[in-house]
Structure 1
Amino acid sequence: MIWSLIIGAIAGWAAGQLTRGHGFGLAVDIIVGVVGAFIGRFALSFFGFAAYGTIAEIITSIIGAVILLGIIRMFSGSSKV
Structure 2
Amino acid sequence: MGILYSIIIGAIAGWLGSVIFKGHGLGLLWNIIIGILGGILGSWLFGVLNISLGAGWVGQILTGAIGAIVLLALINLLTGGRRV
Task: Report the TM range for the smaller structure's normalisation.
Answer: over 0.9
Aligned to 2:59: 56
Identical pairs, percent = 37
Aligned to 1:14: 16
Return the offset for 1:49. 2.3
1:65 aligns with 2:68: yes
Aligned CA-pair RMSD: 1.2
CA distance in structure 2 between the partners assigned to 1:39 and 1:79 by the alignment: 22
Q: TM-score normalized by structure 2?
A: 0.89
CA distance in structure 1 between the partners assigned to 2:6 and 2:14 by the alignment: 12
CA distance in structure 1 between the partners assigned to 2:83 and 2:21 by the alignment: 10
CA distance in structure 2 between the partners assigned to 1:59 and 1:24 by the alignment: 18
What residue ranges of structure 2 are gaps of 5+ in the alignment? none
Q: TM-score normalized by structure 1?
A: 0.92
Return the offset for 1:78. 1.6
Return the offset for 1:20. 1.1
